[in-house]
Amino acid sequence: MKIVRCLESLSSYAKRLVSSKAQAAKPSEPLFCEKLWKECAEENMLRPLNRDYVSLHGELNGINHFFITGANPELMSKEFMSTGLTPKEMISMADIEFKRLKPTKEPIRAFRCIGEKPDFFSEYKLYRKRLNIKKGDTINMREYAYATSDIKYARGYLTNDKGILYDIEIPAGARVSLKGYGVNNEIVFPRSSKFECVGTQRVKSQDEDYLCVKLRYVIPE
């Protein structure tokens, strides 16, 4: 029952984050999430997993619109496709499992591409903001961001070879979800992951026009 209560608390916290109604805790008090993770640890819910990926590795992309465009919050409590889980339950399960993943032993280089967005797309403002990124800036990817160690595969997501290519350095010790092997790895980052921009380069020719942004994944404390 304690585990169930802990999961219910985490689900409630996730819902408040998605609806952007969570209130900041007083500076002198521990944050709600800090209290929650402490409780989960005490219940032995954060024991290490014997695998390199979260259970919902392939399904999390389907609920990313809740974080990016602010989809209808009522859908958070309705079953998502054939998972047998609601988005709220998927978030709770994934967030706990990301905490339980084994830290990576070696650095990983990954790539993520965002195709050019027309001005009538809901993501257009965010896309334009990312185009103006500078060295030293920090990006907060609110969704469960996907990437791959196969740059050719990643570039397939550029719209007519236009958009943004993120060249991401993942330091050893990161807890990210990995499936595949070597150059075929697919990587999923925990939601609200932060990345530091270490440089940008415009790649432009007759056939392509995109911004290459070099990022370094910031391992959460």
Distances (CA, A) of 197 to 84, 119, 139, 214: 38, 25, 8, 6
CATH topology for the 108-218 domain:
Toxin ADP-ribosyltransferase; Chain A, domain 1 (3.90.176)
Residue 214 CA to residue 198 CA, distance in Å, equals 6
* pTM exceeds cut of 0.85: no
pLDDT of 184: 77
Residue 198 CA to residue 135 CA, distance in Å, equals 5
Name the H helices within the chain: 2-18, 32-42, 65-68, 87-100, 124-131, 151-155
pLDDT of 214: 98
Residue 130 CA to residue 3 CA, distance in Å, equals 40
pLDDT of 29: 65
Residue 176 CA to residue 43 CA, distance in Å, equals 23
pLDDT of 43: 56
Q: Which three-class secondary structure state does DSSP give residue 220? A: coil
Indicate the burial class of 98 (C-beta count within 10 angstroms; 0-12, 13-18, 19 or more): buried
Give me the tens of pLDDT residue by residue for the chain, a chain 221 residues long.
444 445 455 555 444 444 444 444 445 566 555 565 566 655 555 677 888 999 999 999 999 988 887 767 788 888 988 889 999 999 999 999 999 999 999 999 999 999 999 888 888 888 999 999 999 999 999 999 999 999 999 999 999 999 999 999 999 999 999 998 766 789 999 999 999 999 999 999 998 999 999 999 999 98
Q: Where are the domains of the chain?
A: 2-100, 108-218
pLDDT of 46: 62
